[in-house]
Structure 1
Amino acid sequence: MNPKFVLPNFIILIVLFSCIVAICSAEILFTDSEGNQLTFPGPAEKLVCLNSDSAEMVVALGAGEKIIGLADSVMSDTALMAHIPNAVSVGNWQTPNFEKVLELKPDAVISYSSSKPKNSDQFLNAGINLTYLDCYRINTLDHDVKALGTLLGASDRADVYVKFKDKWQNLVSSRVANLAPDQIPSVYIEGYSDYSANGKGSGVDQELDVARGKNIAASLGEQWPKVTAEWVLSQNPDVIIKAVSLKPDKTLEQVRDGILHRSGFETLSAVKNNQVYALNGDLAYGPRSPAGLIYVAKALHPSLFKDIYPDDVLKEYADTFVSGVEKGEYYYPVL
């Protein structure tokens, strides 16, 4: 064999092998919110986001232009939509328009794991595996944003968000660490519907764990147990926090006033001591929740957080991740 041909052929084999390795290494792997290990051939370029929190997190990672489909509820968020120029509506987040999603040919369809689409079987039967990334509970935000960063090829940006979130969470944890048991207030957390409590493991419950509050619904065995006025009265919480899905016809002050004037509630310690708070769900859950955590901490332990304001956290978030969201009605009363 002529040695002149052996070396070039050997070099060609090395180049081919390197190309194969590079192609294989382009595959990305991550675990979703359900613990499923997912594999994609490369970073996703086209996304459909059925949950608003994942859509906002995609924007926070600097990839809003990759979102091509959104649920109706997200399309109405003007501050967020300013960063999502290419998206069209795919209908209701619980029953998305399957044909429309199929027509868009997304690389990934992202949904809540806790509230899956009712027609998810349609997607599975068509070979479309839903990617479950909640992006709303403060205890799992680190995992979810890192998984999303991997999916988008934006891991560095995900790390920046994790540092932002951890900074504020660690600050709260350090300030409440030495509280005595009798300094921990009991709290009734109410969800969007009247007498729909936030139980153990729910979004605001996790913020209570960090800020040292005792959730009176934690022992009811459900994340969102339905309770009654009589039950709340029997528990007599020190603090009431109402999570609100803000509607244009009602302000947070009006929502709070509605709680204050519920029959029998004038006997509650929370009402007597003016410890009733209304918190916009956009701050209670999701990427903006570090600001919500500061509000909850100030509500529970005002003397420990006199020098910190949720507006400052929200401004930092807007300046660093999603501009425009610092404007809006987020809580009442202002702390």
Structure 2
Amino acid sequence: MKKLNGLFCILALVICFSVILVGCGSQTEEKNASSGTDSYLTITDDADRQVVLTKKPERIVPLSASFLEPLHAVDGKIVARVSAKTGIPKEDENLPQVGNVYNINIEKVIEAQPDLVIAYKGMNDKFVSTFEENGIPVVVLEMRTYDQVKHTVDVLGQIAGNTDKAKTLIQDMDNKIAEIKAKLPNEHKRIAILHSTAQNVTVQLEGSIAGSTAEILEFENIAKGLTPLESNPTSAPYSLETLVSANPDVIFVTSMGKLETIKKSMMENVENNPAWQTLPAVKEKKVYFLPQELFLLSPGIHYPEAVEAMAKLVYPDKFN
């Protein structure tokens, strides 16, 4: 009888111990689930969306050519690309194409079986929900200003698991820009940036590529503080009267379309309009057309080249 009682006691202890272990196991599982320890990375993107990646992406489809070079710099795995006349690295030329940045072919993207899509804010937003409905995570990023480019490189470095390479690239860009700025005289320049198309002319704000570049060079943009257009937060309405009143030292022009045609049309207007002729920038021939390959679409990791291009136009003697 004593032996039987002893067996019952041992059995009871085993059952109690098992219950404790099960309880601890459940608590650990709940803790892991709540803390997300089984996920690879959580990102708050430029659209203020929280994106959880459960694993390191090995099949990335970027929806803008601007993302290609930064992805290569951090060893990101690209399986398809957009169609573009410029900005396609040699190693990506033979990749499957998924349409252009403004007209993405959703079926082609899904065919590429991506485990991550990288969308450009303001261009690809309408596609985000469709990809998410198909189980494809999407990170939305923006690369117009230099700070946005550096942020994008940092995020892509996290995604690819190569944060050290991202930091090195950012530092390299910063160093190149510092070297360019060191060549410039310490003086005040008031500038205007006009964006010309076949249809109209607008002025560029600090959030534009040219506006950000001018800010890096510490030029004073006469458009700073103007109310942006509803359709384009990087631009404001153009007014010749405002331009004359602001009296900029230098006028930069960015253009969309055939550069020579736009340049000819605009310069004819400048030469034949008495109001334009009152501007010192016009009198001193300091109206400069910025290269489209650096200022129409994001220069991305080539931002130092955009900074140098703008600086050279104003101070050509400093870059002999």
TM-score higher than 0.5: yes
Tell me: CA distance 1:84–1:229, structure 2 relative to 1, closer, same or farther (3 Å): same
Residue 49 (str. 1) matches residue 57 (str. 2): no
Q: State the SS of the aligned residue for 2:100.
A: coil
Residue 290 (str. 1) matches residue 304 (str. 2): yes
Instruction: Select 2:129's aligned residue among 118, 121, 124.
Output: 121
**Of the two, which has the highest radius of gyration?**
2
Q: Is the 8 A contact 1:111 1:131 kept in 2?
A: yes
Q: What aligned pairs does 1:314-325 form with structure 2 within 5 A after superposition?
A: none
Tell me: CA distance 1:246–1:198, structure 2 relative to 1, closer, same or farther (3 Å): same
With normalisation by structure 2, the TM-score equals: 0.73
Q: Is the 8 A contact 2:192 2:203 kept in 1?
A: yes
* Correspondence for 2:215: 209
CA distance in 2, matches of 1:207, 1:198: 11
User: C-alpha offsets along residues 284-320 of structure 1, whole Å, 9 cap, x if unaligned?
Assistant: 33221111112223334556xx1x47xxxxxxxxxxx
CA distance in 1, matches of 2:96, 2:50: 29
* Correspondence for 1:17: none
* Correspondence for 2:5: none
Instruction: Select 1:171's aligned residue among 175, 179, 204.
Output: 179
Q: Is the 8 A contact 1:111 1:130 kept in 2?
A: yes
Q: What aligned pairs does 1:120-159 form with structure 2 within 5 A after superposition?
A: 120-159=128-167
Q: What aligned pairs does 1:70-109 form with structure 2 within 5 A after superposition?
A: 70-72=81-83, 74=84, 76-77=85-86, 80-109=88-117
Tell me: CA distance 1:28–1:124, structure 2 relative to 1, closer, same or farther (3 Å): closer
Kindly state the Cα deviation for residue 166 of structure 1 after the two structures are TM-superposed. Answer: 0.6
Q: Is the 8 A contact 1:256 1:276 kept in 2?
A: no
Instruction: Select 1:260's aligned residue among 267, 270, 274.
Output: 267
Give the fraction of aligned pairs with identical amino acids, expressed as a percent: 25
* Correspondence for 1:312: none
Q: State the SS of the aligned residue for 1:89.
A: coil
Q: State the SS of the aligned residue for 1:68.
A: coil
Tell me: CA distance 1:95–1:296, structure 2 relative to 1, closer, same or farther (3 Å): same
CA distance in 1, matches of 2:53, 2:133: 19
Tell me: CA distance 1:86–1:166, structure 2 relative to 1, closer, same or farther (3 Å): same
Q: State the SS of the aligned residue for 1:83.
A: helix
Tell me: CA distance 1:136–1:90, structure 2 relative to 1, closer, same or farther (3 Å): same
Instruction: Select 2:195's aligned residue among 191, 195, 203.
Output: 191
Structure 2 residue ranges without an equivalent (≥5): 1-31, 229-233
* Correspondence for 1:243: 254
Q: Is the 8 A contact 2:154 2:163 kept in 1?
A: yes
* Correspondence for 2:14: none
Q: State the SS of the aligned residue for 1:289.
A: helix
Residue 28 (str. 1) matches residue 28 (str. 2): no
| Paired residue total | 274
Structure 1 residue ranges without an equivalent (≥5): 1-19, 310-335
CA distance in 1, matches of 2:195, 2:132: 31
Give the counterpart letter for 2:70 in structure 1: M
Q: State the SS of the aligned residue for 2:104.
A: coil
CA distance in 2, matches of 1:33, 1:113: 7
Q: State the SS of the aligned residue for 1:241.
A: strand
CA distance in 2, matches of 1:167, 1:49: 27
Q: Is the 8 A contact 1:44 1:151 kept in 2?
A: yes
Tell me: CA distance 1:161–1:25, structure 2 relative to 1, closer, same or farther (3 Å): farther
Tell me: CA distance 1:155–1:282, structure 2 relative to 1, closer, same or farther (3 Å): farther
Q: Is the 8 A contact 2:57 2:160 kept in 1?
A: yes
User: CA RMSD of the aligned region, Å?
Assistant: 3.1
Residue 272 (str. 1) matches residue 283 (str. 2): yes
CA distance in 1, matches of 2:194, 2:155: 30
User: C-alpha offsets along residues 69-100 of structure 1, whole Å, 9 cap, x if unaligned?
Assistant: 3222x2x33x6241215522222323312222
Tell me: CA distance 1:289–1:256, structure 2 relative to 1, closer, same or farther (3 Å): farther
Instruction: Select 1:111's aligned residue among 119, 122, 128.
Output: 119
